[in-house]
Structure 1
Amino acid sequence: MEFAFNEEQQQFVDSIRRFLMTEVTPELTREQWSSASGRSDALWQRLAAQGLTALLVPQACGGLGLSETEWAPLAQECGYFALAEPLLDTALVAAGMLSDCHAATQDAGIRERCESWLRRIAHGGARVAVAHPGQALVADAHVADAILCEHGGALHLVLPAQATLTAHASLDPSRRLFALGWAPDAGSLVLSATAAKPVWEAALNRGALGVAAQMLGLTQRMLDIAIDYSIQRKQFGKAIGANQALKHLLADVAIQHEFAKPVVYRAACTLAQGHGTAGLHVSHALLAATRTALLAARNTMQVHGAMGYTWELDLQIFMKRAWALADSWGDRALHKARVDAHILGAAVPIGAGATFATFATTANLASTL
């Protein structure tokens, strides 16, 4: 059984990696920290030109009509380069929500409205923030052309002029977080509470998947930085990387990273297929990837010693991003509770009798990659 991305998917990822390597550098990240918005309109347009804003948008709305499966490795690359632009919130979560809303309603006006925003997202003409009910603060609301909000379970689309924003500091200077104030009205309503419930649930899954995939990328970047440092830094005439204790620290991260990757890819696959246990797999993925990223932050800091705490080193950029993302789109307690509800709540079969049924499901998922 082969569980791998096909050649076309891998070529797309490789091209995006080369693009981000050139466009999203630590120097740019530091430069954006001191800017008013922390964002770059020019970079957003270049991301759109690469097709990244159109990935999840249906072809009928001017997009590429791809799925969360393709997003997983791309989000991983966004994490590796610590991309600050709200690409995942807009092009993965918000685009997915608007697509779901378009499919869930028969109201011609609402469908036209959703389609209009999807076209704008696909062409790079709009950033859309998401004020999920499980999130206390909204990321990148200050540059958003619209914000998807919840009121009494219903889904509303709010324009910037209808909202007030209060900035909140983040551990990661690249993250711009805001408390949102707004009042619902008939014009902002998109879906009723009953119709919006599955849309909000899918949004949580997409957001958590995006975090999990970014954590994989952040882990790999911190690992690469630490390996490079351990080769260059010398004590007593030899590289510190020759020290067996440091090798063990980095090996522990590398092993956990390899085990976390297929968990994240499986979650993307189940979400793309609308599988009934997608929430379980997404929560498992976030827990596994977050644990790995936090271990990477701790162990790579140990490799750097006191130098790891300095502002000048690039390591701190990726450590702070991992720490900041760890509690976004549901903290670990929430995702542990979701896994617990499935396993201990008997929502999924476990034990020897269910082994081959699980194997068959995994094989079916693998065939889509």
Structure 2
Amino acid sequence: MDFTFTEDQLALRANVRSVFMKEVAPELLRELWETDTGRSAELWQLVTEQGLTALSVPEEYGGLGLADIDWVLMAQEVGYYGLTEPLIDTAWVGAALIAALPESAAAFKDVWLARIAHGEAKLAIGHPLNPLVENAHVADLLLLNHRDEVHAVPRGQVTLTAHASLDASRRLFAVEWTPSEATRLADAEVGRTLWADALNRSVLAVAAQLSGLVTRVLDLAIDYTAERKQFGKPIGSFQAVKHLLADVAVELEFAKPALLRAAVSLANGHSKTGLHVSHARLALADTATLAARHTMQVHGAMGYTWELDLQIFMKRIWALAAVWGDKAFHLQRVADHVLASDTVLDPSQTFAA
């Protein structure tokens, strides 16, 4: 069995990485923090031109019809560069939810999937696990959960109240709205499955972004330790500093397989997808918080200052570690499996699966 990515998948990631490296610089992120929306029409046009808005849209609606595994690679790049645009909620989670709607919503799917594929629509997603909705202020459409029903509500039909975030790139809003037959796309019976899939996809997206963020803060810390000198030597030559960063690198290598297994499980409808994405989320969140702590320690008191790029990505780590379920929620999902009376935990079960 081949567990490696295909040449096409790696080429797509390499292309996205080269574009983000040039266009999504920390200086731009700082500038966007100071704007009213915190978003950039130019950046949205950029991701549209790269075809990223069409990745999850089925081919019959003008998209590429790619799978969750392809998106994991993209989400890692989104995390690494701190992209602020609502790409993941729109083109991955939102597009997948709309594509899975029942036949009764066929006309809705025809319109909105085509708009998503062409970069003509931005989505925001409201779920009970997230009382505040990110990007609601720039969304053309909000996909909202009401007692497991799926509702699609234009931004003009909701009232938004802004809430501050530790991460200034995240724009969060309390959303007031009135459910109606006109906005309902799926009843609770159908919606329960759709929202379960959207939850797992969103959790996986957070885990993948955290993976990218860990790599980014490690890169920043390694560069800093090569430049900063004490006693005439780069501080990266000191064993204590090496251990701080090595601990993070080791944790990341152990967390990556959990992330990739979760992606494969989601893409193939595995019966334990919820378990796998929560495991990945727990592993990456723990790794990311360790990375934030150790890389800030390597930088010393400067690590949290505005002038250093490190603070941009540390704040994003801390913010993402609290969305789409906290640690207790994901630990409970894992515990429900581990402590079940019919669960068999041994290597033969793992490799048989």
The question of a shared fold, defined as TM-score above 0.5 by the shorter chain, is answered with: yes
Percent of pairs with identical residues: 54
Counting only pairs closer than 5 Å after superposition, residues 255-274 of structure 1 correspond to structure 2 as: 255-274=250-269
* Counterpart mapping for 1:163-242 below 5 A: 163-242=158-237
Residue type of the alignment partner of 1:100: A
Measured after TM superposition, the shift of residue 152 of structure 1 is 2.1
Q: Distance in 1 between matches of 2:246 and 2:186?
A: 49
Counterpart residue number, 1:106: 103
Aligned length: 353
Is 2:29 aligned against 1:38? no
Q: CA deviation at 1:357?
A: 4.2
Q: How far apart, CA to CA, are the structure 1 residues paired with 2:349 and 2:329? A: 28
Deviations along 1:288-334, one digit per CA (max 9) or x if unpaired, are 01111100000000100011121000000000000000011111111
1:86 aligned residue: 86
3-state DSSP class of the match of 2:306?
A: coil
The alpha carbon displacement at 1:347 in A equals: 6.0
Q: Which residue is equivalent to 2:314?
A: 319
Of residues 328, 333, 350 in structure 2, which corresponds to 1:358?
350
Unaligned runs of 5+ in 1: 362-369
CA 1:65–1:133 in 2, change beyond 3 Å: closer, same or farther? same
What's the offset of the Cα at 1:150?
1.4
1:293-312 mapped onto 2 (5 Å cutoff): 293-312=288-307
Task: Note the alpha carbon deviations across 1:191-215, whole angstroms, 9 max, x for none.
Answer: 0011100000001101100000000
347 and 185 in structure 1: CA distance in 2 versus 1, 3 angstrom threshold: farther
- Shift in Å, 1:151: 1.4
In 2, the alpha carbon distance for the partners of 1:358 and 1:239 equals: 44
**1:139 and 1:176 in contact (8 A); partners too:** yes
Counterpart secondary structure, 1:275:
coil
Give 1:74's aligned residue: 74
Amino acid paired to 1:58: P
Q: Give the one of 144, 148, 155 matched to 1:160.
A: 155
Matched residue type, 2:109: C
SS at match of 1:8: helix
Paired with 1:115 and 1:71, the residues of 2 have a C-alpha distance of 22
CA distance in 2, matches of 1:331, 1:357: 28
Give the SS at the match of 2:166: coil
State the shift of 1:356 in Å: 3.0
How far apart are the structure 2 equivalents of 1:282 and 1:209? 6
Q: Quick one: higher RCO (CA 8 Å, sep 6+), 1 or 2?
A: 1
Deviation at residue 348 of structure 1 after TM alignment: 4.2
Classify 1:85/1:346 alpha carbon distance in 2 versus 1 (closer, same or farther; 3 Å). farther
Alpha-carbon separation, structure 1, partners of 2:77 and 2:343:
32
- In structure 2, relative to structure 1, the CA distance for the partners of 1:76 and 1:348 (3 Å cut) is farther
Offset of residue 360 of structure 1: 3.2
* SS of residue in 1 equivalent to 2:151: strand
User: 1:193-246 deviations in whole A, cap 9, x for unaligned?
Assistant: 111000000011011000000000000000000000000000111111111000
Query: Does residue 242 of structure 2 align to residue 250 of structure 1?
Result: no
- Determine the C-alpha separation between the residues in 1 that align with 2:2 and 2:100: 31
Deviation for aligned residue 1:8: 1.2
Letter in 1 for 2:247: D
Task: Report what 1:8 is aligned to.
Answer: 8
Distance 2:141 2:112 in 1: 9
Distance 2:328 2:13 in 1: 32
| Corresponding letter in the other structure for 2:201 | R
TM-score, normalised with respect to structure 1 = 0.94
Q: Deviations over 1:24-51 (max 9, x none)?
A: 0001100100011000112111101111
Q: CA contact under 8 A between 1:149 and 1:157: conserved in structure 2?
A: yes
Contact 1:93 1:207 in 2 (8 A): yes
Return the offset for 1:106. Answer: 3.0
